[in-house]
Amino acid sequence: MNSTNRKIADACIEKGIRFIPFRNEQQASLAASVYGYLTSKPGVLLTVGGPGIVNALAGVYNANSNKWPLMVLAGSTKISLTGKGGFQELDQVSLMKPWAKSSFRTVLSSQIPQYLEKAYWSSIADVPGTIYVDLPDDLINQECYENVRVMKFDFSLLWTATPELRKIKRASKLLKDARFPLLIIGKGAANAAHTLRQFVATHQIAFLPTPMGKGIIPDASNCNVSSARSLVLKHADVVLVAGARLNWILHFGEPPKFNKDVKIIQIDTDASEIARSVGTLELGVLGDVGHTINHLSDQLKGHQFPALPKMVTELIEKREQALRQQEEIVNDDLMPSHTQALAAIRKHIPPDANIVAEGARTMDLSRQSLYLCEPRQRLDAGTNGTMGIGLAYAVTAKLTRKNKPLIVIQGDSAFGFSAMEIETLVRERLPCLIIVLNNSGIYNGVENPREYVPYTRKPLPSTALTFGVRYEKIGWSLGGTGYFVEKCKELDDVLEKGVEDMMSGKIVLINVLVKPHAKL
């Protein structure tokens, strides 16, 4: 933070705006990006220019790819020094143009309120995304004698897309004629949770949530077919996609993952998203998810869809039994697997806890092991699989949901991206429980580290990290508390203490050594 930004930050604090200084711009930008998702209002990122704005591109890209609103404010070289090689000089407006919905520079101090108001609204309107406002140093340091109008925001003025009735009727007919209809729910449907719950309860349609769509309808619902994902995608003949995109997460809606004869109905507020999938879709419905589902339910008039095929219910039961077997601890003197550690975590954390999951195997397996019951309850790497989000997201999750316990579950590689933000959590008094599932590697560590350099000439694999790093000591050194687990029998006691410490207002880091080569 330079002297100019410090003046802005101090003025914000003086006006009662919560300002959170992070350890680097990347983490600050990621935290600001997810604020848009958790609140449906733009997060505001204040950063220095030059290398600072370059570092912040991580959060800008993250916001845009997930379609979250974000405002980025950055200082820049004085207007009078432009082109002379000023300190950290960079044409930031041009840099940001490909990444932002709008990118503009203020040249008069009187423009600043108007530009900020425009940026705020523009970030939310239509398809949410990033707006960049460039603030030259000489403008920020000017005295402003004008009466500045305080911005007021009436969110009821925002346009809500209403679907065409003819398309609703067509969607209703397609669903009624289906042998095996399927509802896919993405994170973009989070604001329509109540409507979707009623829709599933009334019509008994099978549903499949995307990773961050989990919890919009509780995982415990008997219509949830997540455990048979591959099977249902292959056999569903009509698929209704709500709040999700037909991108890599959903295999582009194409065979061989999807039924080759499937009829896909996509609901989206973004016409370009429907246009992108036009070759795959049977029907694109431009409209708000909640409004569209309400109208669709009216057209269905209480119609209930066929019961799940026997092959699906049998596979769900088989997968759940297999998971229980993988979670079972036979020898509690051994190092736990990911699945065994996650089963213990599930047993001890509060059911309404917000969860941030980050990593490769850690993130994927936690999605299967932990049950969710609320929208936006789980945050993960999102549309672009962004690593580094862990503790940045934790800060925002706790700020926006103060009364909910917060659990962060990270692989050891993922933890390394944001570990210093433990100090931010401590400084800002944001209690949480951080659990590092430490397999000493990216995907995999090595079983016998003494077989490799520096003990022998055999080079380490590209995925290996140092074996058994004591990450919990970072927790202690940055003002939190820490625990170390290396055997199954230690899990219950340590997790119980960790949850208790968190609930008493502490930041806790539990470092759990897990089997380096176990796949589950």
Residue 109: pLDDT band with limits 50, 70, 90: confident
d(CA 296, CA 172): 6
Distance of CA 33 to the CA centre of its chain: 9
d(CA 378, CA 361): 16
d(CA 167, CA 263): 14
Helix, strand, coil in percent for the chain, rounding step 5: 45, 15, 40
pLDDT in tens, 6-24: 889 998 999 999 999 999 9
Amino acid at 4: T
Which pLDDT value is given to residue 153?
A: 66
Report the predicted TM-score, pTM, of the whole model to 2 decimal places.
0.95
Answer for the pair 424, 20: CB distance below 8 angstroms, yes or no. yes
Answer yes or no: is pLDDT of 149 > 80. Answer: no
Contacts of residue 33, defined as CB under 8 A and 6 or more positions apart, other chains included, come to: 43, 59, 60, 62, 63, 66, 68, 70
pLDDT in tens, 379-432: 999 999 999 999 999 999 999 999 999 999 999 999 999 999 999 999 999 999
Amino acid at 494: V
Are the folds of 3-157 and 165-313 the same? yes
Answer yes or no: is pLDDT of 3 > 80. Answer: no
Which pLDDT value is given to residue 338?
A: 97
CATH topology of domain 3-157: Rossmann fold (3.40.50)
Q: Is 79 helix (H, G, I), strand (E, B) or coil?
A: helix
**Average pLDDT score over residue span 80-88:** 87
Positive or negative: CA dihedral 385, 443, 394, 417: negative
pLDDT in tens, 166-182: 999 999 999 999 999 99
Amino acid at 144: C
Neighbours of 442 (CB within 10 A): 20
Which pLDDT value is given to residue 107?
A: 86
CA-to-CA separations, 367 to 190, 191, 213, 374, in angstroms, rounded: 17, 21, 11, 14
Per the DSSP assignment, residues forming a β-bridge with 483 are 510
In the block, residue with structure tokens 């669709």: 296
Residue 79: pLDDT band with limits 50, 70, 90: confident
User: 288: burial class by Cβ within 10 Å (0-12, 13-18, 19+)?
Assistant: buried
Which pLDDT value is given to residue 519?
A: 73
Answer yes or no: is pLDDT of 151 > 70. Answer: no
d(CA 39, CA 348): 28
d(CA 300, CA 477): 59
Percent of the chain, pLDDT > 90?
A: 82
Which pLDDT value is given to residue 141?
A: 78
d(CA 393, CA 33): 9
pLDDT in tens, 443-465: 888 888 878 877 788 888 999 99
In the block, residue with structure tokens 């079972």: 328
d(CA 490, CA 507): 20
In the block, residue with structure tokens 């925001």: 153
Beta strands in 255-328 (DSSP E): 263-268, 283-286
d(CA 309, CA 311): 5
Positive or negative: CA dihedral 381, 386, 390, 391: negative
d(CA 296, CA 195): 11
Answer yes or no: is pLDDT of 139 > 90. Answer: no
d(CA 175, CA 205): 10
Sequence spans of domains, the chain:
3-157, 165-313, 328-513
d(CA 161, CA 182): 24
Q: Looking at 349-451, list the stretches that DSSP marks H as alpha helix, in order from N- to C-terminal side.
A: 361-369, 390-400, 412-418, 421-427
Which pLDDT value is given to residue 362?
A: 96
- 47 sits in which H/E element: strand 43-47
Residue 76: both structure tokens together: 């820049």
Per the DSSP assignment, residues forming a β-bridge with 47 are 74
d(CA 61, CA 74): 16
pLDDT in tens, 468-489: 999 999 999 999 999 999 999 9
**Pick among 3.40.50.970, 3.20.20.70, 3.30.200.20, 3.40.50.1980: CATH of 328-513:** 3.40.50.970
d(CA 128, CA 332): 49
Neighbours of 424 (CB within 10 A): 23
CA-to-CA separations, 105 to 74, 94, 174, 287, in angstroms, rounded: 10, 10, 50, 34
What homologous superfamily is domain 165-313 in, according to CATH?
TPP-binding domain (3.40.50.1220)
Answer for the pair 281, 250: CB distance below 8 angstroms, yes or no. no
Contacts of residue 137, defined as CB under 8 A and 6 or more positions apart, other chains included, come to: 4, 75, 76, 77, 78
d(CA 48, CA 320): 50
